[in-house]
Amino acid sequence: MKRNLLLSILAPLLLLLVLAGCGSLSEDITPPPGYESPTAPPEIPAAEQLVFPVLPPDPARGEPLFAENCSTCHGSAGLGDGRDASDLPNPVPAIGDIELARQATPTDWYLIVANGNIERYMPPFASLSVPQRWDVIAYAFSLSASDEELSRGQKLYAEQCASCHGERGKGDGPDAGELSASPVDFTDQAFMGYQSATDLYLSISGGMGEMHAFADLGEEDRWALTTFLRSLTFAVPEVDTVSEEGESDATPGGAASPEGTPLPVGMSSEAPAYVFVQVVNGSGGDLSTGAEVTLHGYDGMEEIFTRIGALPEDGLVVFEEIPMPEGRVFLATIEYDQVVYGSNFVQAAADIGDVNLDLMVFDSTTDSTGLVIERLHIFFDFVTPDSVQVIELVLLSNTGEQTVIALDDQPVIEFELPEGALNLEVDENIQLGYMQTAAGFGVGSIRPAAEPYEITFAFEMPYDKKKADISLPIPLDTVAAIMIAPEDGVKIKGDQLRDGGSRDFQGVLYRTYHSDSLKAGETFSFTLSGLPRLPSGMTSSSGTDNMTNLMIGLGALGAALIGAGIYVWRRNRSEGGEWDDAEAAEVEILALAETPEELMDAIIALDELYQAGELPEAAYLERREELKARLKEMARS
């Protein structure tokens, strides 16, 4: 269906699940909050999803894998000059280039290795195991790290950082106890996986928390520090020691991840081991003891066993004599204060014995005053002449410290549809409990989270005579609403709207509109009219298919603009910054880049749009060069 096709185009741009895979709510009703099916297994992350390594990645193990799987295109030094590179219609990314590598994060490269990038003629590498993928990525990062820079960074780290962060970067330095918060653990795979060298460089330069800025260090010194910090996440190289008898004794490197403990020499992973489940109350209060903690073991998608333990006062539940065959996946669940919570997943590896699981719970409340919609984005699909599809993306935050629940199987929030709406489709977030209501759909329980929840839904409105009066009920206080539509042929009018001006994106003019501080219970009303006009050079004689493709293309471009705006806004938000309402409406990424930090963010956003296949190469290279030139100009001033 063409509408579902549009949704499947928009969803990855907005970092959401594919709407086309979701049925009508009337066909599949999510159970009420707190309900847990006794037989349905929790979702297990597939191989192509993000999975962090159990043991530190090893560049030495990754080198032969890179030579076998990657060098034919990327080249032995990662400069994009492999023997097959010239046969491809597009340049191969020079992952060994220091400038490109500094902008990349390990998680980005992992997902590309796991899923491939067919638009760029790179296949997925399903033949590589999860540890092998991380080993390849570790080696790829080492290509842009010279021995001289690494040695320089190690010396600077010992002088400037080790007293707090520890000799191996675990946050256990001699001065760490004097700080109010634990220093960053640079061996934490999940934390470092999301950090690019640029992110680390900016933190070093500007300081963070109790860590002062190191702006007095030269630029090359700060970059050298980032190179050494990255190496702390990798396995320690083997060191040969010589015994008194003259025998060489190799000490294996690579300390175990916090998720697992290495097995003693000679012990098989099939041997029973311990699973430790640490339950923590994220609301800050004491744990309510006695609740059942269930340990689940899965081989593939089949649940092999469950064990139940009672929650003690200290929150540490110990499961003994648990078989550990390689590949088995473990997780723990608990129903706490009427809400079901799950732990992280850990997959047993050949050289791992005991397993550690972390399970965060929260106290529950029915007080919804801490809920707020931070952004409401609206755009449209003009596929048929007699109806228009309205697509809404809601960024919902729980600013409190408790999970908000509802009583009597009612939703915490109800998203009511406007009068005349048909064919509701919802992209169901598995962290939220969805349910159908008479007027639309509702969200069951909303737990605190570091980032806003993304709720996407769509519905159709009659579009008689190319016009529709739309009134959207606002369920919560909303900081800003942003609307985008092609400028040529489409008009939007409403007393609550302010014109955000035009933006040119790939030759298509868009006009943005925004509204500030909408209140719960208010109605957001506007009139939509017209249809996007064919660009110059395309006539109606080209046929209906061309018009349909144009509408889908315009919708995808609009989503790309919104996606870029959300990307930069979320990064700014995570760093404690605030934007005024006018800036919130500026969704064109070049307009957002007014400081060195925002230019860095804009380059990253541009790279992600290009990697997703949403920017043609010529436009991508031109805009990237423009951003780099502006960044250099700022650095000189």
pLDDT per residue as tens digits for the range 6-31: 333 233 323 222 222 233 333 333 33
Helix (H) or strand (E) holding 156: helix 147-160
- Taking all residues of the chain, what is their mean pLDDT, rounded to a whole number? 75
Higher pLDDT, 543 or 209: 209
Domain(s) of CATH 2.60.40.10: residues in the chain:
260-362
Domain(s) of CATH 1.10.760.10: residues in the chain:
59-142, 147-231
pLDDT at 609 over 70: no
Class for domain 147-231, per CATH?
A: mainly alpha
DSSP, residue by residue, 46-64: PTTS----SS---HHHHHH
Q: Which pLDDT belongs to residue 273?
A: 81
The domain defined by 260-362 carries CATH number 2.60.40.10:
yes
Write the burial class of residue 295 (CB in 10 Å: 0-12 exposed, 13-18 middle, 19+ buried): buried
Gap between the Cα atoms of 218 and 238, Å rounded: 32
Q: What percent of the chain has pLDDT over 70?
A: 68
pLDDT band at 526 (very low <50, low <70, confident <90, very high): very high
Specify the amino acid at residue 611: Q
| pLDDT digits 0-9 by tens, 286-302 | 999 989 999 999 987 78
Give the chain's radius of gyration (CA, Å).
26
Contact by Cβ (8 Å): 486, 509: yes
Provide the whole-model pTM. Answer: 0.50
Please state which CATH number belongs to domain 59-142: 1.10.760.10
Specify the amino acid at residue 629: A
β-sheet bridge partners, residue 441:
415, 436
| pLDDT digits 0-9 by tens, 162-178 | 999 988 888 888 888 88
Gap between the Cα atoms of 249 and 238, Å rounded: 10
| pLDDT digits 0-9 by tens, 458-501 | 899 999 888 999 999 999 999 989 888 888 888 999 999 988 88
- Reading the block at residue 310, the tokens are 């009672």
